[in-house]
Structure 1
């Protein structure tokens, strides 16, 4: 196969940041993706409907002429979140999900939830109105090894939340373990799971073996090879519960290369080229459209995009980094030559 046309994809987990960074990275998503779930972990975070509306307006104002893109807004769940404000923002069509960050789990998550009993009323209201909860699934306990934090979160936090809140729709974001794959497969259709591009490509050896690779450092951190293979099997399976959420997370090189560098991989420019190659390697190109373009809309109750993109068997041309007013941002390098391009 040398050409593949699919419904235009969506990204169900995206960091655009704000200001100069947003203006620089947004076009790289909008070139390929019709819609994206926009993460709310700005400084300060997007916690109210009014703030989400203002952020959406800034995103649209930054969109270059000639590109069609719909930002799907979210609210950042805090222990002070007002259930009525959440419900009103959802009823107006403004927000499509609420994001749960355990306090301290990742970049700009200091305002996240430490006591889940305090947010019970918000979760119950979300279950009533069918508003999904997007979950960064890691515990933050200092005594839990970083490679075990996703599995522990499922047992200690996620499963109890779901049992205590029947009907709550949940997206397990950027899953990284076979434990998460197995848990997702054992649930009903009220639970979905996103998988990133980079977690299909790298394991923890890629970060650490032969020297530290800061541009491969992300949270949740990549795990053992057995977990990467489980993610690839899930993504390429065509199963409706698994869909693409790139977690594309731009940081300037200056912030990535610090003694305590930022977590995140910037994959927006080359995600589709990488995915085409991954799916081809796994003899699953016929299931690429399900993962990138169909399963996500089905979970969120949205139509599949009517326009299409075409991937062709030719070496892509994308930059090693992009320039922003704040400094260069390195594009994720999969570690192998890419053979597919988006036309």
Structure 2
């Protein structure tokens, strides 16, 4: 799977935050190094791509190991998955009190916490999980450890947008390509469409519009996090299909359409390339991409063959006309 998809990211992205929810999860620095080595070995020849590694937070995370990983420059952040919240999150956190010493140490060494912002309580409606997470988990953590830097990954609601916007300098949020484009009708109206099912689930249209407004606003608190998830069709088209949407191959083409549609093409560079590095305190990349609007729609494969199965590519539901190519220096 890695060899089949890595080139779709490295073709346009010089680096990416690598999520640790593998089976088994990436919970130690040595496991992160091994995963980084695998990614680099799978890269197409000539592609310049830096994996920015993260650790999967558990109630048993070793602070000394975490410190060593951060000191080496390998570990850029730690990801918090509430147990059972998303794909391969069974090893996630159940007791937030138990991880407080780890979070306090992360704040001390200025290591960001990335959160999958949903509670998993059975009595909470799936469409309310993000808002309840903010109220019950995230806000108490941040009040207790205000110096902790936090990224709400793949925010999906106006509640999340409002919370991050008002939250001061130590909180930011990523927004996915697909959550800018689809609402919950995409996977529920007219039949179940498993290739539009992801976690967090897409919400009602008012939330999608709030995400669009935040992404295209130029607000440095919001930046791209594709959350692109390759799953075999056989694992999605089943009685209990897995969550995830695969967008790596056409993310920038989709985003150019969205930003043009909202009259904000001048804000796209900040969202995709500047705001994220600024929050992570990394220098922006030197290389640039040139975008061109084509006269005819760009063709993308509907599926990518892998072994004896396929990965279905995200279909935005409209034709894409913006292409991009790498250039070396100069103005665009």
TM-score normalised by structure 2 residue count: 0.96
- Which residue does 1:57 correspond to in 2? 37
Unmatched tracts of structure 2, length 5 or more: 326-332
SS at match of 2:93: coil
Residue 168, structure 1, aligned to residue 145, structure 2: no
Unmatched tracts of structure 1, length 5 or more: 1-20
- Which residue does 2:166 correspond to in 1? 186
CA contact (8 A) 1:316 1:342 kept: no
SS at match of 1:29: helix
Residue 142, structure 1, aligned to residue 107, structure 2: no
Q: Deviations over 1:250-300 (max 9, x none)?
A: 101000101000100000000000000000000000000000000000000
Residue 177, structure 1, aligned to residue 157, structure 2: yes
Deviation at 1:189, TM superposition (A): 1.2
Tell me how far apart the structure 1 counterparts of residues 54 and 309 of structure 2 sit (CA, whole Å). Answer: 27
Residue 310, structure 1, aligned to residue 270, structure 2: no
TM-score normalised by structure 1 residue count: 0.93
- Which residue does 1:323 correspond to in 2? 305
Tell me how far apart the structure 1 counterparts of residues 146 and 192 of structure 2 sit (CA, whole Å). Answer: 43
Deviation at 1:326, TM superposition (A): 5.1
Residue 40, structure 1, aligned to residue 20, structure 2: yes
CA contact (8 A) 2:14 2:48 kept: yes
- Which residue does 2:231 correspond to in 1? 251
CA contact (8 A) 1:72 1:95 kept: yes
Deviation at 1:34, TM superposition (A): 0.7
- Which residue does 2:269 correspond to in 1? 289
Tell me how far apart the structure 2 counterparts of residues 235 and 53 of structure 1 sit (CA, whole Å). Answer: 32
Residue 339, structure 1, aligned to residue 297, structure 2: no
Tell me how far apart the structure 2 counterparts of residues 311 and 326 of structure 1 sit (CA, whole Å). Answer: 35
Tell me how far apart the structure 1 counterparts of residues 315 and 215 of structure 2 sit (CA, whole Å). Answer: 20
The number of aligned residues is 323
Residue 241, structure 1, aligned to residue 241, structure 2: no
Q: Deviations over 1:126-155 (max 9, x none)?
A: 000100000000000000000000000000
SS at match of 1:215: helix
Residue 111, structure 1, aligned to residue 52, structure 2: no
Tell me how far apart the structure 2 counterparts of residues 196 and 113 of structure 1 sit (CA, whole Å). Answer: 24
Query: Bigger shift: 76-85 or 315-324?
Result: 315-324
CA contact (8 A) 1:102 1:114 kept: yes
Tell me how far apart the structure 2 counterparts of residues 187 and 90 of structure 1 sit (CA, whole Å). Answer: 25
Deviation at 1:324, TM superposition (A): 1.3
- Taking the TM superposition and a 5 Å limit, the aligned residue runs for 1:84-163 are 84-163=64-143
CA contact (8 A) 2:289 2:324 kept: yes
- Which residue does 1:4 correspond to in 2? none
Tell me how far apart the structure 2 counterparts of residues 204 and 261 of structure 1 sit (CA, whole Å). Answer: 16
Higher relative contact order (CA 8 A, sep 6+): 1
Residue 225, structure 1, aligned to residue 205, structure 2: yes
